[in-house]
Amino acid sequence: MVRASMVPVLAMCYSLVAQTPAPEGKHLSLQEAIQISLQNNLQVDIARQSREETQAGYLTSQGAFDWNLSGQAQSSRIDTASNSPLFKGSSTAVASQYTSYGRSLTVDLAKTFVWGGSVKFEYAPVYSYYRGVTLGTPDVPTSNSYPYSGAVTATYSQNLLAGFGREITTAPMVVAQKNAQAADYTFQLAIINLVASTEGQYWDLVYAERYLANKKVSLELAQKQLKENTIRMQVGTMAPIDVTSAEAQVAQAEQDIIAAEASLANAKDALIRSLYPNAERPTSLASTDSPTLAHTQLDEAAAVKMALERRVELKSARIGKEVAQLNAKVAENKTLPSLSAFGTYTGNSSNYDSLSSVNKDLTGSKYPGYTVGLQFSMPIQNRAAKGTLSAARAALRSRELGLRDQELSITLQVRTAVRNVEAAEKGVKAAEKTRYFQQKNLEAEQKKFENGMSTNFVVLQVMTNLDNAKSAELQAQIAYAKAVTSLEQAVGNLMEARNLTIK
């Protein structure tokens, strides 16, 4: 096959909405068929959307370490009244009425750190004013002249056992990042499988086209033999039974053509539906390439090594194992008691008639206070954490076994693919020789027949043998092309071998 020039395929950038309508009829190379399938296939877009969704999870997990700003403001007015005796034992009551006004603001700034610590800053100015009157003769007013006060606090807390360490605290973020990598490999696998599937359908079309062409040649040979036999019968040099045999040969060739035409129509429809699921479909397709693909030249050991390094399924499985290992470490950490150390600084202010004076006290640490301590907690049996740890270890073991099983399976696939390519190459050469010699045999038998040294039966039998040899040669060529696809896919080299790039 004449290889197309390198055309990078930006698979994730294709749009399924605005597509160029397909022409009425189209001749396609294998490279063009692959490109069209990558543009139009729904599964590619589904895999791309899934990848983007998973990658967004990494950004979400980073939010756990963002600074968090919060605030609260409130205002209040409260009217109260009370009665009290004028003096001890007196039956005369003195009434008092008060109205208090309050305004407060609390601003918090907090952050969690990747090493298991957290910090929180709080600024809380307060305005609290009241005024009232004691009823009597005369009335006595009361109020406070310094309604402003406030406080600032800064608290740092550090986990010392459970929840301690960068590996534990960043585990959700690392898991999200690895899941995003695994989703990317899943996307790549969808592309690779699509390319392999498209190649298979393309070679099915090539086979159907060439099989029909072979059958038409066989019909022409049968018709030629029938014509010659009819002439010989008319001149009396051949029995009518020989004409009947030739007519049967023609009828069989015509029947084969009908079946071949149906197979070709089916192969075209299958490829058209695969290439144009959303776009306007062409009425017909025709191939332009021959099944003579080159392939990566590797011995069995090198092919297995290459596959174990490059297969995206193994890369994804290894990421799954890493995630399971990390989950097991986190689960083990949660079985530890909870112990944290904390330290708090508190700055207070006196009462003033203005907020600026309060802030001056706070920023100058005029009335400081400090608190340090430890906080400890531990479930007595801790069965929930132990159960989680047991499940995490079982999941890790399952991932390890699954990875090993996948490695063995891929090793078998590669060895089988290498042998299949080697056998297919030899099969193509053998089929070519068989077809060549059957062609020569037919030519020789026809000359013998013309010279009266052979019979009609033998000629028809040799024609059948040539037809079978042509079909076997075509089957061997298509089997070789599909074996090459399987080998490149098995060793993880299909995209590079087809000059395609996934981004």
Longest C-alpha distance within the chain, in Å? 159
Q: Is the pLDDT of residue 96 over 90?
A: no
pLDDT at 251 > cutoff 90? yes
Statement to judge: residues 344 and 401 lie in one domain: no
- Do 121 and 262 fall within a single domain? no
- pLDDT score, position 5: 35
Q: Is the same domain home to 370 and 434? A: no
pLDDT in tens, 11-33: 333 332 233 344 455 788 888 88
Local confidence band at 293 (pLDDT 50, 70, 90 cut-offs):
low
Query: Do residues 158 and 289 both lie within one domain?
Result: no
Using the predicted structure, report yes or no on whether residue 218 has a pLDDT greater than 80.
yes
Q: Does 314 map to a domain?
A: yes
Domain that includes residue 85, residue range? 67-112+117-162+338-377
Residues 203 and 283 in one domain: yes
Is residue 16 one of the residues assigned to a domain? Answer: no
Strands, E, within 160-254: which ranges?
Answer: none
- 259 and 367 in a single domain? The answer is no
Is 11 contained in some domain? Answer: no
Domain identity same for 429 and 285: yes
Closest CA to 202 of 291, 326, 332: 291
Give 444 or 1, the one with higher predicted confidence: 444
Per-residue pLDDT reduced to its tens digit, 480-491: 999 999 999 999
Pairing of strands 284-287, 140-143: unpaired
CA dist., res. 100 & res. 301, Å (int): 88
The band of 324, judged by pLDDT with boundaries at 50, 70 and 90, is very high
Per-residue CA distances from 289 to 104, 129, 206, 485 (Å): 81, 92, 8, 15
Residues 318 and 343 in one domain: no
Residue 22, domain member (yes or no): no
Neighbours of 415 (CB within 10 A): 16
Whether residue 428 contacts residue 476, with contact meaning beta carbons closer than 8 Å, is answered with: yes
Q: Confidence band (pLDDT; 50, 70, 90) for 126?
A: very high
Share of the chain above pLDDT 90, in %: 50
What pLDDT shows up at residue 294? 73
At 464, which CATH number? 1.20.1600.10
Asked if 342 and 419 sit in the same domain, the reply is: no
Whether 344 is covered by a domain: the verdict is: yes
Least-confidence region, from 22-36, 419-433, 482-496: 22-36
Whether 46 and 139 share a structural domain: no
Q: Report the domain count for the chain.
A: 2
In angstroms, what CA-CA distances link 481 with 32, 204, 206, 383? 17, 10, 11, 59
* Mean pLDDT value of segment 285-314: 87
**167 is a domain residue:** no
CA distance 124 to 56: 37
8 assigned to some structural domain: no
Statement to judge: residues 48 and 73 lie in one domain? no
Q: Are residues 39 and 97 in the same domain?
A: no
Residue 349 is predicted with a pLDDT of: 93
Q: Is 204 a domain residue?
A: yes
